[in-house]
Amino acid sequence: MSTFKAPKGTYDLLPPESATYLAVREAIAAPLRRSGYGYVETPGFENVELFARGVGESTDIVTKEMYTLTTKGGSELALRPEGTASVLRAALEANLHKAGNLPVKLWYSGSYYRYERPQKGRYRHFSQVGAEAIGAEDPSLDAELIILAHDAYRSLGLRNFRLLLNSLGDRTCRPVYRAALQEFLRGLDLDDDTRARIEINPLRVLDDKRDSVQRQLKDAPMMRDHLCEECKAFHEEVRTLLTAAGVAFEDDPRLVRGLDYYTRTTFEFVHDGLGSQSAVGGGGRYDGLSEMIGGPPLPSVGWALGVDRTVLALEAEGVRLELPPTTEVFAVPLGDEARHRLFALVTALRREGVAADLSYGSKGMKNAMKSANRSGARFALLLGDRDLAEGVAQLKDLESGEQKSVALDRVVAEVTATVR
C-alpha cells in the first residue's frame, strides 16, 4: 500500500467501474456531436477574477469553495469550479464570435473543483460534460439544449428524473423584481451573512437550503409575477417547443441555481433517488456574461451534466449499462516460440479492431487461464509446442467450453470473423 492517499473529498476512477463513467460521458456527448457542437478544452485553472466576475462574488462558489493559488509571479489563479466562464473566455480569446457563423456551439468534458463538505454525490473533485451555444438570443437554442440533455439521460436508460424549469427575467424586468424581493427579505429574521447577500444578489437567498430560511420564504415574491412581456413570450416559446418534443417539465418559480450569470431560461434535472443531493445537471441562459468578463454582447445558453451524479442515478434505478468488452480474445502461450508467434497474432488482431490481450510473464497454463477468465474475454487463443508442430492454434470459447483448431495463417481472419 502507498504512503499516500487521494485527497479528502476526491476519488480515483479505476477499472472496471471507470468503464461506466466513460460510457456516461460518451452517451452525453453523442447527441451534442450530432447537433453541430464542436469539442473545446480549457486549462484546469484560470485567473481568479474570471470566476469572481462571471460566477458572482456573492456565490458560495466564489466566497467559500474555490481552490486558489498564487504563482511565483504573483498572479492569482483558481482551479476551475465550473466550465461556462472558461469556455466563453476561450471562445472570446480565439475570436470565434467574429467568424460570422453564430451561434458558436461547443461541448466539453473535464474535472472541476470546489471545496465542499464531502458527502455521497458531492465531492471536491467532480466530472462534468457541458455544452454552450454562444451568440444567439433564440428560445429554440434553449429548447435544443434541454432536449439534448433529456435524450442523453433517456439513452442511458434513466427514467426517474424530472426537469424543473423557470425564467429569471432580463435586465429590463429583473431590477423591479430585485427591489421587491429585497424589500421582502429585509423584514425576515436572517443572520448577518445572509443579510449582506440581500444587498449584493437577493436571488441567492432563495437558493439557501437551510430550513430556517426556507420557512420564511413561503410568501416571497416570485419572478414569474414580474416578467416583462418579452421574457414571458420567450419563456412560453421554450415551454411550447419542449412540449412539442415530448419533454415533460415542472414549472419551479423558486429555481435560481447557484450562479449569478443566469438570465431568462433556468433549468435543472433532478433525480429523487439521490436524496438531498438530487440535482444531476442543469443550466440556463446567460445573456450578459460576455460583457461581465470584458467581451461584447453575446446572448448565450448552456448546461453542465454531472457524470458522477448520473452514475449514482443509474445505480439508484438499478440500470446496468451494456459496456463493450475490454478484451475479446486472450492469448495463452506455452513456451518462448509460442509467445513470439502469439505476440505477432495479438498485434495483428488489434490492428483489425479486435480487443486482444496476452498472458505476460512466466505463468503456467492454470494461472494463465485464470487471467483469461478474469479479463472477461469471450475466447482464449492457446498455443503450445505440439500446436506449433502442427501449424495450428486452439481457439476456446470460454462460455461454452468448446475448443477448435485453427490454422496459424488463418487465425486473424477466423478470429476476427468469430468475434464479430
Residue that finishes a domain, picked among 272, 289, 317: 317
**Does residue 303 form part of some domain?**
yes
Q: What is the pLDDT of residue 2?
A: 76
Report the percentage of the chain scoring pLDDT > 70. 98
Asked if residue 370 and residue 287 are part of one domain, the reply reads no
Q: Strand order of the sheet with strand 392-397?
A: 356-358, 329-333, 379-383, 392-397, 403-407
Pick the range with the lowest mean pLDDT from 82-86, 219-223, 228-232: 219-223
Q: What is the pLDDT of residue 26?
A: 97
Average pLDDT over the chain reads 92
Q: What is the pLDDT of residue 209?
A: 79
Q: What is the pLDDT of residue 120?
A: 76
pLDDT class for 54, splitting at 50, 70, 90? confident
pLDDT class for 236, splitting at 50, 70, 90? very high
Q: At residue 137, does pLDDT exceed 90?
A: yes
**Does residue 26 form part of some domain?**
yes
Asked if residue 251 and residue 105 are part of one domain, the reply reads yes
**Does residue 182 form part of some domain?**
no
pLDDT class for 57, splitting at 50, 70, 90? low
Residue 73 CB partners (closer than 8 Å, separation 6+): none
Q: What is the pLDDT of residue 101?
A: 86
For cell 467574429, the residue is 98
Asked if residue 394 and residue 268 are part of one domain, the reply reads no
Q: What is the pLDDT of residue 362?
A: 80
Asked if residue 138 and residue 42 are part of one domain, the reply reads yes
Q: At residue 405, does pLDDT exceed 70?
A: yes
Q: At residue 261, does pLDDT exceed 80?
A: no
Residue that finishes a domain, picked among 264, 286, 317: 317
**Does residue 73 form part of some domain?**
yes
User: Are residues 301 and 141 in contact, defined by beta-carbon separation less than 8 angstroms?
Assistant: yes
User: Are residues 238 and 142 in contact, defined by beta-carbon separation less than 8 angstroms?
Assistant: yes
Q: At residue 133, does pLDDT exceed 70?
A: yes
Q: What is the pLDDT of residue 153?
A: 98
Residue 391 in grid coordinates = 501449424
Residue 414's domain comprises 329-419
**CATH number for the domain harbouring residue 350:** 3.40.50.800
Asked if residue 106 and residue 36 are part of one domain, the reply reads yes
Asked if residue 301 and residue 269 are part of one domain, the reply reads yes
Q: What is the pLDDT of residue 52?
A: 86
**Does residue 8 form part of some domain?**
no
Among 320, 305, 315, CA closest to 152: 305
Question: How far is it, in rounded angstroms, from Cα 140 to Cα 238?
Answer: 7
Residue that finishes a domain, picked among 271, 296, 317: 317
Q: Which whole-number Å values give the CA distances from 92 to 79, 101, 176, in the listed order?
A: 20, 14, 31
Q: What is the pLDDT of residue 58?
A: 61
Helix residue ranges, H only, 202-262: 203-206, 211-214, 229-244
Among 11, 20, 79, CA closest to 50: 79
**Does residue 191 form part of some domain?**
no
**Does residue 146 form part of some domain?**
yes
Between 256 and 33, the higher pLDDT residue: 33
Q: At residue 259, does pLDDT exceed 70?
A: no
Residue 113 in grid coordinates = 473543483
**CATH number for the domain harbouring residue 47:** 3.30.930.10
Task: Tell me the three state secondary structure of residue 109.
Answer: strand
Q: At residue 132, does pLDDT exceed 90?
A: yes
**Does residue 402 form part of some domain?**
yes
Asked if residue 152 and residue 250 are part of one domain, the reply reads yes
Asked if residue 333 and residue 298 are part of one domain, the reply reads no
Q: What is the pLDDT of residue 275?
A: 79
Residue 241, CB half-sphere, CA atoms under 13 Å: how many? 17
Asked if residue 408 and residue 276 are part of one domain, the reply reads no
Task: Tell me the three state secondary structure of residue 255.
Answer: coil
Task: Tell me the three state secondary structure of residue 163.
Answer: strand
312: amino acid identity, one letter: L
Domain count, the chain: 2
State in Å, rounded, how far the first CA of the chain is from the last one: 41
Asked if residue 245 and residue 363 are part of one domain, the reply reads no
Asked if residue 62 and residue 96 are part of one domain, the reply reads yes
Mean pLDDT comparison of 272-286, 300-314, 365-379, highest-scoring range: 300-314
Q: What is the pLDDT of residue 258?
A: 61
Asked if residue 31 and residue 149 are part of one domain, the reply reads yes
